[in-house]
């Protein structure tokens, strides 16, 4: 059965009531998308994905991260949309660009040139007709060290494992645990201080989606939720710090590289649908 946007089947409603009686943590009703919201979120997500596809064709060695910011701003506004990062809690640019030991929230700069061997995360978020979407991908510039290529690959696998698991009536901790196991099995660590999140009606909504944790714990996943899965995987320790100079840039404590891929999913009655990747 598919997610039924007109309201829940009796079966879903009965399950929600049962879990409520059992004292299981459930999402608040406003986090379960209506048909109208979902239509808007899908449109926003389409633009967000088209933007990442466009960037994939244009990102190359020698350009600056400010050039990427420029492309994001122009492409998004050309599609009658708004780059969600711009002005968000004071963020100064339209996109986050995070190179090598920068974990996330890097600020594009005319002084920052993409160099041979860099690994780069580009995180784009779009507002269209008031609805939000979010996704990020890694880009490898020129000839990247094999050990770094493996980090990028395993980070993608971690995201994909999380997305594949996403379905109703399991717990968020089930997803986190699966991601953590895969990262640690490969000798890497999962960043603890930043997480995925509900997204759609606002940029960042409940719940927090941690990429580590214990099976059988955390919020119950319910049809109609939309949230991101965006594990940040470090080659070394999971410790990070925020650059005090700009208040945004998150870096690994040990200076080793970090990689991240982000998708946004809709929970349906029998599984999930990938909205962005
Ligand atoms: N796109 C980021 C995320 O995945 C959020 C960036 S907030 C910003 O949640 F202000 F830095 F853009
Ligand atoms: Co996000």
Cα–Cα dist 28/2, whole Å:
21
**Per-residue pLDDT band at 3 (split at 50, 70, 90):** low
Q: What is the pLDDT of residue 43?
A: 98
pLDDT (tens digit, 9 = 90+) per residue, 18-38? Answer: 999 999 999 999 999 999 999
Lining ligand 1 with CB less than 6 A are 85, 88-89, 91, 96, 105, 123, 125, 134, 228, 230, 262
- For ligand 1, atom 12, the nearest C-alpha belongs to 85
Minimum-distance ligand 1 atom for the alpha carbon of 91: 10
Residue 4: which pLDDT band, with cuts at 50, 70 and 90? low
Contact in structure between 204 and 153 (CB atoms under 8 Å) = no
Catalogue the long-range contacts made by 180-189 (C-beta closer than 8 Å, 24 or more residues apart): 180/211, 180/212, 180/213, 182/154, 182/157, 182/158, 183/154, 183/155, 183/158, 183/231, 183/233, 186/150, 186/154, 188/151, 188/154, 188/155, 188/233, 188/234, 188/235, 189/233, 189/234, 189/236, 189/237, 189/238
- Tell me the domains of the chain and their CATH numbers: 31-276 (3.90.230.10)
Please compute the mean of the pLDDT values over residues 215-234 and round it to a whole number.
98
Q: What is the pLDDT of residue 9?
A: 79
Tens-digit pLDDT profile for residues 86-123: 999 999 999 999 999 999 999 999 999 999 999 999 99
pLDDT for 123-138, tens place per residue?
999 999 999 999 999 9
CA of 264 relative to ligand 2 center, distance in Å = 8
| Locus of tokens 């109208």 | 36
Percent of the chain with pLDDT over 70: 97
Over residues 194-217, mean pLDDT: 98
Å from CA of 100 to ligand 2 middle? 19
Q: What is the pTM assigned to this prediction?
A: 0.96
Using most ligand atoms within 8 A of CB, pick from 85, 122, 206 the residue to mutate for ligand 1: 85
Measured at the CA of 5, the angle between CA 3 and CA 210, to 5 degrees, comes to 55
Three-state SS for 174-238 is HHHHHHHHHHHHCCCEECCCCCEEECCCCCCEEEEECCCCCCCCCCECCCCCEEEECCEEECCCC
């Amino acid at each position: 059965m598919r997610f039924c946007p007109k309201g829940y089947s009796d079966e879903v409603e009965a399950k929600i009531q049962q879990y409520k009686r059992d004292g299981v943590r459930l999402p608040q009703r406003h986090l379960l998308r209506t048909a109208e919201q979902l239509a808007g979120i899908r449109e926003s997500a389409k633009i967000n994905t088209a933007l990442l596809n466009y960037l994939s064709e244009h990102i190359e060695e020698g350009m600056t991260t400010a050039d990427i910011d420029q492309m994001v701003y122009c492409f998004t506004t050309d599609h009658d949309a708004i780059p969600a990062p711009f002005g968000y809690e004071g963020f100064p640019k339209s996109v986050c660009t995070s190179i090598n030991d920068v974990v996330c929230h890097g600020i594009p700069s005319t002084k920052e040139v993409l160099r041979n061997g860099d690994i780069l995360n580009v995180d784009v978020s779009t507002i269209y007709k008031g609805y939000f979407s979010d996704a990020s991908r890694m880009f490898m510039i020129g000839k990247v060290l094999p050990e770094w290529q493996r980090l990028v690959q395993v980070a993608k696998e971690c995201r994909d494992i999380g997305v594949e698991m996403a379905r109703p009536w399991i717990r968020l901790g089930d997803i986190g645990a699966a991601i953590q196991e895969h990262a640690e099995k490969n000798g890497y660590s999962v960043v603890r201080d930043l997480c995925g999140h509900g997204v759609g009606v606002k940029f960042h909504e409940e719940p927090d989606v941690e990429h580590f944790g214990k099976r059988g714990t955390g919020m119950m996943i319910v049809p109609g939720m939309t949230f991101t899965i965006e594990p940040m995987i470090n080659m070394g320790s999971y410790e990070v710090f925020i650059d005090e100079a700009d208040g945004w840039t998150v870096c690994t404590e040990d200076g080793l590289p970090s990689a991240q891929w982000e998708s946004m999913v809709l929970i349906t009655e029998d599984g999930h649908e990938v909205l962005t990747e």
